[in-house]
Structure 1
Amino acid sequence: MKSVLQRVYLTLILILLYAPIVTLMILSFNASKSRSKWGGFTTKWYVELFRNEQIMNALYTTLIIALLSALIATVIGTAAAIGIQALRSKFRTFMMGVTNIPMLNADIVTGISLMLLFIAFRFSLGFSTILFAHITFNIPYVILSVTPKLKQTNKSTYEAALDLGASPVHAFFKVVFPDILPGVSSGFLLAFTMSLDDFIITHFTKGPGVDTLSTKIYSEVRKGIKPEMYALSTIMFVTVLLLLVLVNIAPEEKQVRGRIPEKPRRRHKISRFLFRKVVPVMMAAVVIVGGVFYGSRADTGGADQVIVYNWGEYLDPDAITIFEEETGIDVVYEEYETNEIMYPKIQSGAIAYDVVCPSDYMIQRMLENDLLAEINFDNVPNIKEIGDTYMDMSRQFDPENKYSVPYTWGTVGILYNKKMVDEPIDSWSVLWDETYKDSILMQDSVRDAFGITLKYLGYSLNSTDLDELEAAKKLLIEQKPLVQAYVIDQVRDKMIGNEAAIGVIYSGEAIYTQWENPDLEYVIPKEGSNVWIDSWVIPKNAKHKENAEKFINFLCRPDIAKMNFDYITYSTPNVGGRALIEDEALRDNPIAFPPEKDLERCETFRFLGDENDAIYNELWREVKSK
């Protein structure tokens, strides 16, 4: 019985450990991009992986930074450990305490501190600052690994070597270093692993055009992880698994007293040769050659470039390639997840972005804080392709249309499953219908959640009236028991997979979900909703303003606007681009291009001021904490 229980327990542990990995591996062969729908077996994501320059660049950057930072930190940390060991007892204890502080500190504290240091000394955030940051936080781990081995060394042996005429350096490498080598190796491996796995410190010290795997994955979370990333993760897991197998089938020869050790088997010889010689050489070659190729392309640093800061998965990569080929201007491209993450970077001036794509209310905030440069529309003749309707809508946050060019637009509405909902939906009231308890998905966003509720109550979604906001808060608290989950872009996969009956969603995502699940229907409720516009702007500290204007003009070209619409499925304000959409049903799709009568009931979000933002956030915390 005990044996059976042990096996059951071990099986459960293995399932918990490896079920997520197996799921990820299965998804890497799924023809559908949705995790909720099996579209058939395919290997195309593995092919696409090696064509995806951004992912490959992130992979090589991750490996190079991990390798270089681990090597440099190992050298510095080993030297520091030797120096600390030579100190008197009191000073040694003090120095070890100082060394341990960075390891006890939260990573976010270290990351922000290093970022502020780089900004204070006017370093350009990029590859070098990430490398310096990784070396800095790796050194203490090397010291911690080497110090115990130094304590075990015999000083007399070192002194004897000096007495026999060896130089200090020669004596160290012949006598001391072999003794501490296990600690040095452990320190290197620990530093390599810590660097490879780091996200927070990299996030705060990286610059435009430089991504590691961790920051790349993070930037994709809101829009959904690319299947190519599943393929890469599968390859990495299988590679590690093979290395572990090689280690375990190549045991060291054991010396048995009085007996001649057995001759190693041929397969053991081969595996040891592969593991000790071939694999390290191949890994080093891949890292160095690949890193030079991809890294050099990511860090051009020349005047003929434009630094773009955009939402994740919000621009067809082929459009960037075409622009570079046509103009000779190199595009350094970086992605963000929310307006609130983007804004502090622009405000700090730590990185001089040339083109940014904020939402309506954030553009208003940036204008009020004098962060934007006026666009020279002589360099943007394709502005004529943007419909008058959208230029007029833009006046709500850019009164004179001097600082922004509309890029995409859409609405917020209700997505519902016709097979799970009894009747057509036309009101926000369904979000408070107990019939659909535990089958409602709400947006995990303060402005969206309050905007929906305020419109349902008959108020403006930009209300600053405390009584109206309190009423909305009370209604949101009443709704909580009915809500299955507060999500952002996860609503897409949940609705495709029939995991919920009703979800609040952005119109662009609704189009994609209908392609994957024809049972889904999208509606703008009769009380009205949010109509949003994301527009291109140029920060005031942009270093390549003319190139930025060329880039914006290029994106306003009808064929490019249509290309981007096909890629991201968000509505285009480009009249010429819309005319190029061949599928008439898509060109006149009421989700992508709703009729005027539906838009009349909609509003754009406005920046309400820091004080009102704080009130909204406090009320939202009260809702979430109940």
Structure 2
Amino acid sequence: MKKERRWFGRSLMTLTLIFFYLPIVFMVVFSFNKSKSLTHFTGFSMRWYQTMLKSHGMMSSLYITIIVAILATLISTIIGTITAIGLSQSGKRMRAFITHVDDFPLMNPDIVTAIGLMLLFITLNVQKGFVTLLLAHIAFCIPYVILSVMPRIRALDPNLADAAMDLGATPFQAIVQVIVPEIMPGIISGALIAFTMSFDDFIISYFVTGGGVKNLSIMVYTMSKRVNPSVNAISTVVVVLITLILIGMNVLPMLRKKSASLEMRPHRKGPKIVVALLVVCALVFSLFGMHKMGDQPYAGQTLHLYLPGEYINDEVVSRFEDQTGASVVIDNFDSNEQMYIKVANGESYDLLIPSDYMIQRLIQEGYLQKLDQKALKQTFAQINPAILDLAYDPNNAYSVPYFWGSVGISYDKRKVSQADLEREGFNIFLDPKYKGDIYLYDSERDSLMMALKALGYSMNTENEQELNDAYHWLEACVKTMNPEIVTDEIIDNMAQARKALGLIYSGDGAYVSSENRNMGFFMPNEGTNIWTDAMVIPKNAKNVPLALEFMKFIIQEANAKDNSEYVGYTSPNEKVEEELSQTTFKGISAYTPRTGYAKDEVFGYNETARKIIATLWSRVKVVASNAE
């Protein structure tokens, strides 16, 4: 019986360890993957570590994470320890009150704390950035320190400090030389918890930071929106750093104990603490002192960009900084709607990169300023005429195209015939032979677009009956075809041919086809969405000349080429598009969207239709969840 229990316990422990550590092993292994795939190992390579080291964004986020964690740990440990010692000498009611106040942040959901801190900073008109991030981390770390130190203080003899002072110690000496050494295990425990909580935090950090200041959690979240194995590389570096810290924490005390037994003399810790603080301060000052100064035209100035995550090549950004002497601060948004809320609330950016329909809305509501057409004359001359002077921005008075593409069908050539695609178009998503083998993209606009086009309607229709018909088409799809509704995970999944069909953006389709030549891309004959993401300047932009300079720079041939190769979407620069379609993306039809096809459309903005579409898509997702 005992042997059976022992076997069960060991098996359970083994399974638990596998459950916790297998994902880490998986991540480390794939950080050395030769290809971009996150699930298919194709060979050993240091490619993603090189990419990580070259990425200013990733290295900056790692740097900020470490600095904030160290500072938050030091400050919260000092404040928390002093508070705990003070509470031990307070009255019963005061101690109970402070203890309950201290417990409140621990019990609060992080999202509540995050929103509260965000509103506090907004109310006090504190500009969000490094300082607000640090203050927030200190605030939520202090309760953990107090919670860790208090039990050690309760275990002390309450007369210990009095005894020390009776023997001639000052109150400060009694605390530092008598009390603190006795409660040191609790202090160390609290500091470790504080460091871990700060290093790992995402939710609170996401709400309180700004100005391009991102910790590692925010950076990884941004990168996870698209396939980027550098996430594995930087995560592996973090795992190695933490492992070394843990080893050091366990080995150093043993070495110190051994050294103390050999040298029976006191160690002066004061100088070490001072040196450590100086190093930290130097790092902090260097964080704010990394401005490029020189004789460049925009030396010392800042360009604040707001664009989707993983939508620009870091090397191109660095090149722009070197050429102009300016610093580029990048913030990312998850959706056009999120971007709109920030702009409407008055947040200032120098350059935005929204989609066509959102640009139309921003123009209608007066949030954008007209561009200096004379200054951009040569820039527009390099752009494919097919994406200029479109309905969302006639004469491109407000916008310069950044990337463009289409929405189509990614398909497995081994399962889906070209004849079926030609005959059925988007209606292939209702073909019973592909039941359970399709992806729908979790986008209300593009999913309704697919249904409307399949029914022969315009994707910009305002007719409620046509929109309801599209809803019923999607309802039939989710009820009968058992589709999987996904977002950006479709990219890697289709590259691995996990489904036969998937609705996908052309740039992502280009990546899928480049990773797996068995995967094709098809634009249905009934027409589809031809989209453009473009650069615009808000009315409250602080550095318009630098924003115009960036527009010109990013469209230049060499920069446009590097940017398009990195992101994978079609370049607006006509020469670059032609070159890459014959080199990097040769044989990949998704990279070159069709032009001049009468049934293809560009999304326009209509508030009434937008609300109806949002409601209908929500209903589709409810039907899908009930059908599972």
Please confirm whether the aligned pair reaches a TM-score higher than 0.5, indicating the same fold: yes
Whole-Å separation in 1 of the counterparts to 2:120 and 2:418: 59
* C-alpha deviation, 1:369, in angstroms: 2.7
> Contact conserved, 1:209 with 1:299, CA < 8 A, in 2?
no
Distance 1:249 1:548 in 2: 53
* Counterpart position of 2:544: 545
Is the 1:413–1:507 Cα contact (8 Å) retained in structure 2?
Answer: yes
Map residues 136-147 of structure 1 onto 2, 5 A cutoff.
Answer: 136-147=139-150
Q: Partner residue of 1:256?
A: none
Q: 1:377-408, CA deviations, whole angstroms, 9 ceiling, x for partnerless residues?
A: 23323222223331122xx2224522111111
Q: Identity across aligned pairs (percent)? A: 37
Inter-partner Cα distance in structure 1 for 2:540 and 2:150: 48
User: What's the counterpart of residue 375 of structure 1?
Assistant: 371
Following superposition, the deviation at residue 264 of structure 1 comes to: 6.4
What is the 5 A alignment of 1:27-426? Answer: 27-224=30-227, 226-244=228-246, 296-297=289-290, 304-350=301-347, 352-381=348-377, 382-393=379-390, 396-424=391-419, 425-426=421-422
Give the equivalent residue in structure 1 for 2:622: 625
Aligned residue in 1 for 2:563: 564
1:66 to partner: Cα distance: 0.6
TM-score by length of 1: 0.88
Deviation of 1:49 (Å): 2.7
1:287 is displaced (CA, Å) by: 7.1
Query: Do 2:212 and 2:329's aligned partners in 1 also have CA atoms closer than 8 Å?
Result: yes
Distance 2:586 2:552 in 1: 23
> Structure 2: how far apart are the matches of 1:419 and 1:76?
64
Distance 1:71 1:299 in 2: 30
Distance 1:454-1:284 versus aligned 2 partners, 3 A rule: farther
Q: CA deviation at 1:221?
A: 1.4
Q: Which amino acid aligns with 1:402?
A: A
Q: One-letter code of the match for 2:177?
A: K
**CA contact 1:60–1:287 (8 Å) conserved in 2:** no
Letter in 1 for 2:619: E
Alignment RMSD (CA, Å) = 3.1
Preserved CA contact (<8 Å) 2:354 2:535: yes
8 Å CA contact 1:560, 1:577 repeated in 2: no
Query: How far 1:502 moved relative to its partner?
Result: 0.6
Q: Give the partner amino acid of 2:372.
A: N
Q: CA deviation at 1:27?
A: 0.7
Partner Cα distance (2:282, 2:33) in 1: 31
| 475 and 503 in structure 1: CA distance in 2 versus 1, 3 angstrom threshold | same
TM, length-normalised to structure 2: 0.88
C-alpha distance in 1, partners of 2:355/2:398? 13
1:72/1:364 Cα in 2 relative to 1: closer, same or farther (>3 Å)? Answer: same
* Shift of residue 347, structure 1, vs aligned partner: 2.1
Higher mean displacement: 62-71 or 614-623 = 614-623
Query: CA contact under 8 A between 2:513 and 2:588: conserved in structure 1?
Result: no
Q: Contact 1:298 / 1:332 at 8 angstroms: preserved in 2?
A: no
Question: Which among 470, 478, 484 is matched to residue 468 of structure 2?
Answer: 470
Q: How many residues align?
A: 602
Gaps of 5+ in 2: 263-268, 624-628
Deviates more, 1:473-482 or 1:100-109: 473-482
Deviation at 1:39, TM superposition (A): 2.4
Contact 2:384 2:573 in 1 (8 A): yes
The question of whether the paired residues in 2 share the 8 Å contact of 1:375 and 1:402 is answered with: yes
Q: Who is 1:273 aligned against?
A: none
CA drift at 1:15: 2.2
Relative to structure 1, the CA distance from residue 361 to residue 282 in structure 2 (aligned partners, 3 Å threshold; closer, same or farther) is farther
In the alignment, the residues of structure 1 paired with residue 588 and residue 27 of structure 2 have an alpha-carbon distance, to the nearest angstrom, of 34
- Equivalence for 1:509: 508
Specify whether residues 496 and 582 from structure 1 end up closer, same or farther in structure 2 by C-alpha distance, changes over 3 A only.
Answer: closer
Secondary structure of the structure 2 residue equivalent to 1:37: coil
Asked if 2 retains the 8 angstrom alpha-carbon contact of 1:316 and 1:564, the reply is yes
Deviates more, 1:211-220 or 1:201-210: 201-210
Query: Structure 2 counterpart of 1:376, which letter?
Result: D
Q: Distance in 2 between matches of 1:303 and 1:364?
A: 33
- 2:160 and 2:220 mapped to 1: Cα distance? 51
Moved more, 47-56 or 489-498: 47-56
Distance 1:129 1:484, change over 3 A: same
Pick the aligned partner of 2:456 from 455, 458, 464: 458
**CA shift in 2, pair 1:317/1:417, >3 Å:** same
Deviations along 1:413-466, one digit per CA (max 9) or x if unpaired, are 001111022453130111111211221011011111111112212222233333
Separation in 2 of the partners of 1:484 and 1:304? 50
Contact 1:57 1:295 in 2 (8 A): no
Is residue 579–residue 587 contact of structure 1 (8 Å, CA) maintained in 2? no
Conserved 8 A contact 2:292-2:325? no
Does the 8 Å contact 2:350/2:544 carry over to 1?
yes
Distance 2:499 2:334 in 1: 25
SS at structure 2 position matched to 1:591: helix
Query: What one-letter code is carried by the residue in structure 2 that aligns with 1:619?
Result: L
Measure the CA separation in 1 of the matches of 2:236 and 2:121: 36
CA deviations on 1:128-154 (whole Å, 9 max, x unpaired) are 110111111112222222222232332
Paired position in structure 1 for 2:434: 436
Structure 2 vs 1, CA of residues 81 and 615 (structure 1 numbering), >3 Å: closer, same or farther?
A: farther
The 8 Å contact of residues 25 and 230 in structure 1, kept in 2 or not, is answered as yes
Post-superposition offset of 1:281: 12
- Residues 585 and 152 of structure 1: is their aligned pair in 2 closer, same or farther, counting only changes over 3 Å? closer
Q: In terms of mean alpha carbon deviation, does 587-596 or 459-468 score higher?
A: 587-596
Matches of 1:537 and 1:336, distance apart in 2: 15
Distance 1:3 1:357, change over 3 A: same
Q: Match for residue 17 of structure 1?
A: 20
Q: Give CA-to-partner distance per residue, 1:90-111, whole Å, 9 cap, x none.
A: 2322222222222222212221
Q: CA deviation at 1:554?
A: 1.4
Q: Who is 1:260 aligned against? A: none
Q: Distance in 2 between matches of 1:584 and 1:240?
A: 43
What is the DSSP-based 3-state SS (H/G/I as helix, E as strand, rest coil) of the residue aligned with 1:297?
A: coil
**In the alignment, is the contact (CA less than 8 A) between 2:88 and 2:95 conserved in 1?**
yes
Say if 1:526 and 1:68 are closer, same or farther in 2 by CA, change over 3 A: same
Three-state SS of the structure 1 residue aligned to 2:504 is strand
SS at match of 1:571: coil
Look up the SS of the partner of 2:388 in the other structure: helix
* SS of aligned partner of 2:113: helix
Q: One-letter code of the match for 1:297?
A: M
Structure 1, unpaired ranges of 5+: 254-262, 270-275
CA change 1:178–1:122 in 2 (3 A) is same
SS in 2 for 1:392: coil
2: CA distance, partners of 1:474 / 1:248:
63
Distance 2:487 2:565 in 1: 22
Which whole-Å CA distance do the structure 2 matches of 1:80 and 1:384 have between them? 66
What residue is the counterpart of 2:626 in the other structure? none
Q: In structure 2, how many angstroms separate the alpha carbons of the residues matched to 1:302 and 1:188? A: 41
Distance 1:70 1:111 in 2: 19
CA deviations over 1:504-549 (Å, ceiling 9, x no partner):
1111111121111111111111221111100001111111111111
Tell whether the 8 Å contact from 1:559 to 1:580 is kept in structure 2 after alignment: no
Aligned residues of 2:306 and 2:330 also touching (Cα < 8 A)? yes
Query: Secondary structure at the residue paired with 1:309?
Result: strand
